[in-house]
């Protein structure tokens, strides 16, 4: 069985100092959201084997807060440039390539891709748009990640930080 946490990055600044979307940092609300969602996940008694995140600053910062709360080792925190503004198909392709020795992985990326991907796995987990730092946890009976999307899936939970 494989478990995937699909997480939208926490709330970020509207603009960065260099005016690049890629380098927008979390704002104070986003930091609070990431800490709150990390605590909610810990309270669910799950252990995350790895966190794979878009290489944008706001997803990196969200990943660091969650990884630190879970005690995820540095070598299991993986920046994936192709997740930056990835659509649902790209996210699904990436998930299918995860190492099979890992059973519970968190992926942190951007809307609308994360909402669309979550909704392809579990109908209307978040119907329109995942709020910032929301999580959809899905378990598949698949034995390997290449079969995750086609395996029988169940929604474990959907959380938002507020």
**CATH number for the domain including 30?**
3.40.50.1240
Over residues 48-107, the pLDDT tens digits come to 999 999 999 999 999 999 999 989 999 999 999 999 999 999 999 999 999 999 999 999
Neighbours of 112 (CB within 10 A): 15
| Tokens standing for residue 17 | 């100092």
Question: 80: phi > 0 → left, psi -120 to 50 → alpha, else beta; which?
Answer: beta
Tally of domains within the chain: 1
Asked if residue 156 lies in contact with residue 137, where contact means CB atoms within 8 angstroms, the answer is yes
Distance of CA 126 to the CA centre of its chain: 14
pLDDT of residue 127: 66
Q: Is the pLDDT of residue 19 over 80?
A: no
26-55, pLDDT tens digit by residue? 999 999 999 999 999 999 998 899 999 999
Contact 51, 76 (CB under 8 A): yes
Q: Give residue 55's domain range.
A: 2-159
Is cis: bond before 112, omega within 30 of 0?
A: yes
Q: Tokens 């080792």 label which residue? A: 73
- pLDDT per residue as tens digits for the range 135-158: 999 999 999 999 999 999 999 999
CA dist., res. 55 & res. 45, Å (int): 27
pLDDT at residue 16 tops 90: no
């Amino acid at each position: 069985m494989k478990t995937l946490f699909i997480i939208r990055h926490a709330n970020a600044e509207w603009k960065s100092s260099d005016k690049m979307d890629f380098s927008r940092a979390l704002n104070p609300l986003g930091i609070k959201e990431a800490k709150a969602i990390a605590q909610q996940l810990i309270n669910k008694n799950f252990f995350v084997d790895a966190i794979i995140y878009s290489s944008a600053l706001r997803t990196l910062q969200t990943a660091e807060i969650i990884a630190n709360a879970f005690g995820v080792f540095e070598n299991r925190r993986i920046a994936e440039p192709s997740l930056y503004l990835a659509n649902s198909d790209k996210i699904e392709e990436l998930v299918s390539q995860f190492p099979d020795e890992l059973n519970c992985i968190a992926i942190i990326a951007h809307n609308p891709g994360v909402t669309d991907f979550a909704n392809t796995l579990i109908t209307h987990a978040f119907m329109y748009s995942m709020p910032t730092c929301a999580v959809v946890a899905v378990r598949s009976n698949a034995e390997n990640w290449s079969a995750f999307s086609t395996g029988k899936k169940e929604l474990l939970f959907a959380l938002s930080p507020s």
